[in-house]
């Protein structure tokens, strides 16, 4: 009887050892891509388990620092203070670019405005422009939606579109990209920004100009050929000592099959 229990115990341990579990957490922009990649990866490799949750780039990186995730998803570079915290914890982080994203500015479909300059966007999000008639639209107050401060998209937009100016005090912060899409689709005077993969018929994406002359729409082709001005890399961060555990999944994402999924989701492949 003891031998039977021992045998069952050994079989159970062996089964647990063959199940490779990985935790991925962070950017809501990367979230739909990581979910599709993990589904395909697990289907191709029985015995593997990948769990993916959002929360924002800052949340994912914080989880990597405290050891509660194996991979942090981010739509921005890791900050200096985050790198310092990782070093203080005696860890070494590794950065991998897995895709590129065009950050789209969206309004309600009924809005007559179809294009804005970078400076106009800066003035809208800082509060200098408060009515759509100031940029050629209807006499209607502008309702500004933004991601919350833990979001990499929030940081990227502030740095590259607003040139590090502060958001207006009355900006409405949303906990997830999907919430911005929903809010903008239901508010006629609204404006917000989302990753290109989130675009749908419920909102209208604006053309953007950085030189005040050429206005470019956020599309796959325009992002790929770099004519659209608001393109950013999407990252996976992991701890160097965890390389053996996480590299098979990251290699899959960067493989032809994984990069095909990148394009299917709506982002731009690395290769």
What pLDDT score was predicted for residue 19? 56
- Residue 115's contacts (CB-CB under 8 Å, 6 or more residues apart) are 206, 207, 208, 209, 215
Query: How remote is the C-alpha of 120 from its chain's centroid?
Result: 24
pLDDT at 63: 96
Q: What is the mean pLDDT of each run of 10 residues along the chain (271 residues)?
A: 42 44 94 96 93 94 96 95 94 96 97 98 98 98 95 94 96 94 98 94 97 95 94 96 96 97 95 77
Fold of the CATH domain 2-100+233-265: D-Maltodextrin-Binding Protein; domain 2 (3.40.190)
In the DSSP assignment, the letter for residue 229 is: S
Q: Tell me the two tokens of residue 67.
A: 């050891």
Top-tier CATH class for 101-224: alpha beta
- pLDDT score, position 271: 77
Q: How do 143-147 and 231-239 pair as beta strands? A: unpaired
- pTM over cut 0.95: no
Do the first three CATH levels of 2-100+233-265 and 101-224 match, i.e. the same topology? yes
What gap in Å lies between CA 170 and CA 104, rounded to an integer?
A: 21
**Torsional sign, CA 238, 240, 241, 243:** positive
Q: How far apart are CA 60 and CA 54, in angstroms?
A: 8
> 3-class DSSP state for residue 17?
helix
- Domain spans of the chain, in order of start: 2-100+233-265, 101-224
What does the pLDDT read at residue 41?
97
pLDDT at residue 10 in the model = 40
- How far apart, in whole angstroms, are the C-alpha atoms of residue 40 and residue 38? 5
pLDDT at residue number 260: 97
């Amino acid at each position: 009887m003891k031998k039977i229990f021992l045998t069952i115990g050994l079989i159970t341990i062996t089964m647990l050892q063959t199940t490779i579990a990985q935790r991925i957490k962070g950017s809501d922009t990367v979230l739909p891509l990581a979910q599709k990649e993990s589904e395909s990866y697990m289907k191709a490799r029985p015995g593997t388990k990948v769990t993916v949750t959002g929360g924002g780039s800052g949340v994912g990186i914080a989880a990597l620092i405290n050891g509660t995730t194996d991979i942090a998803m981010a739509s921005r570079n890791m900050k200096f203070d985050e790198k310092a915290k990782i070093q203080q914890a005696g860890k070494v982080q590794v950065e991998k670019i897995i895709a590129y994203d065009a950050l789209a500015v969206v309004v309600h479909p009924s809005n007559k405005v179809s294009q804005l300059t970078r400076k106009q966007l800066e003035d809208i999000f800082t509060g200098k422009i408060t009515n759509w008639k100031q940029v050629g639209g209807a006499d209607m107050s502008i309702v500004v939606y933004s991601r919350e401060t833990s979001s990499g998209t929030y940081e990227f937009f502030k740095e590259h579109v607003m040139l590090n100016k502060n958001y207006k005090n009355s900006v409405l912060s949303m906990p997830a990209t999907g919430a911005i899409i929903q809010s903008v689709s239901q508010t006629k005077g609204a404006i917000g920004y989302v990753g290109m993969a989130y675009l749908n018929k419920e909102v209208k994406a604006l053309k953007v100009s950085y030189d005040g002359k050429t206005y470019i729409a956020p599309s796959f082709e325009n992002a790929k050929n770099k004519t659209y001005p608001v393109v950013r890399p999407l990252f996976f961060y992991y701890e160097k000592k965890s390389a053996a555990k996480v590299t098979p999944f990251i290699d899959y994402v960067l493989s032809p099959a994984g990069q095909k999924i990148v394009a299917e989701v709506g982002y731009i492949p690395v290769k």
